[in-house]
Structure 1
Amino acid sequence: MSQQLIQQWQDAPVNELIQHILANYHEKHRRQLPELIQLARKIEDVHNDHQECPVGLADLLSEMANELDSHMMKEEQILFPMLAGGIYPSGPIAVMEEEHGEHEQLLERLAKLTHQGKAPRGACGSWIMLYEGINELMADLREHIALENEVLFREPIAAAPQHGKDFCCGSCQ
């Protein structure tokens, strides 16, 4: 992810960044994954005898879809409204960052299974399209995670609590 994107959003209003994340990542992931799962199932069925067939790809993408859906729902229903209200709850933020680490591990598994998103020589158009979509998903998800971890989840210095004053772990919300 480019530092330019991080810098672009560094000083943006929190609500604007949240809307950007919802529109450009949450909604997009919800569209991308079902399409990729369907295409992966097709490739696994048609090319199951090919040496480089990504066996288990549809299952991995389904696991990612379930994990991301649960994660994004928690952000949308709990964390984002708190952040929009100027509350930076350390507990929920820590949970989301931990889940981001788990998403990174899923991305590593995805990259390994798909040979870093490189379709084999002579692959059919559907296989090439699948891997192009996977490469886009991997790039989008990495950007998404970086924007949240490096920008959205960082409390503005002016709003930071002073030695426990106005501190919230998120449990009381």
Structure 2
Amino acid sequence: MMVELIIDKYYPRKKKARNILETHSLMVMERALKIASEHPELEADEILLREGCMLHDIGIVETYAPEIHCFGEHPYIRHGVIGGQILRGHGLLRLANICEHHTGSGLSAEEIKLQNLPLPHVDMLPESIEEKIICFADKFYSKGNNLTKEKSLDKVRKGMARYGEQQLKRFNEMCEMFL
């Protein structure tokens, strides 16, 4: 219920951006829950996974990404930080952390500085098992043209490699945990 209220507040019904957000989030959730069910030893909190998957991209609404019908003023790379601010405003710290820690395979303060990204110079690396599962599952689905088509592992790895050795290394560590 809380998830729907938050989505309703920022994404009017029948708008394309809402459909993109919800479809993408449901695909990520399906994969995340599958990982959790296949790895009960991880003891992932299923409720946190469900809510985190549905809200991990809540901040895209304030970014300028016309290809996904978002017309805000911020660069897309800031959507995790924006989502974190939105959810902290609702008192949802654990969900805010999921937003902030899912970009790429997470971002270190060093990567942010070296790449001159418009982000706070702090570590934004997935820490909890739920953050790691959502970060990982998110990489397999785009918010572009084919929302429900899962990317191949090879395609995801190639995408991670474009952003540096550390991105790929962290992603491969997640592969070892979840595949």
Q: Whose Rg is larger?
A: 1
Q: Same fold (TM over 0.5)?
A: no
> Could you tell me the TM-score, scaled by structure 2's length?
0.30
Higher relative contact order (CA 8 A, sep 6+): 1
Q: Which has the higher helix share?
A: 1
